[in-house]
Amino acid sequence: MESNLKELSINFIKYWNEIVKPVAELCSPNDTWEYFYKIEREGLVPDEESPEFMKLKSMKDATGMWYVGWLIRDIETAKLRGVRLDLINSLSQVSGCLSHSNTSYWKNVWNDDFSSNEAINMRRLGRLMSGLMEKL
């Protein structure tokens, strides 16, 4: 780790590993995120008949899944290398968006319908983010 970077606290890592990460992984399944990332990185035109594309298309908030996926990767990187600006950005984006006080997100994206597993998991993650931020 570079000497000028802050390390994540043991409390942050424990809370992340045991409480938040399992929920974040429900919000951003690795195979779906990797598929989205590959399209983005390589500028591919997706095969609209592929199972990966169909899964991505079935998501109500694929963009939210994308940002949660980055959060997962930024935290896992920070555990090894220390806190960098990309981690702070990811934490702020996900925490701010999924906050229960951000009524426009829940109304505009979800139409205040929290019946799907995707919505339930995003709301669970939103509730956990303040605890994670406090431990930073």
In a domain, 3, yes or no: no
Distance CA(19)–CA(75), nearest Å, equals: 14
- φ, ψ dihedrals at 102, nearest 5°: -85, 75
Least Cα distance to 104 among 85, 96, 16, 44 occurs for: 96
User: By mean pLDDT, which of 30-34, 103-107, 113-117 is the weakest?
Assistant: 30-34
pTM above 0.75, yes or no: yes
> CB neighbours of 72 closer than 8 A, spacing ≥ 6?
21, 24, 25, 28, 33
**pLDDT at site 4:** 55
The answer to whether residues 135 and 12 touch, using CB atoms and an 8 Å cutoff, is yes
Domains held by the chain: number: 1
Q: Which domain holds residue 37?
A: 10-135
The answer to whether residues 69 and 33 touch, using CB atoms and an 8 Å cutoff, is yes
SS3 category, 117: helix
Q: Is the pLDDT of residue 131 over 70?
A: yes
* Chain segment 22-54, per-residue pLDDT in tens: 999 999 988 888 888 888 888 888 888 888 888
Q: How many CA atoms lie within 13 A of 34 on its CB side?
A: 4
For residue 44, what is the enclosing H or E element?
Answer: none
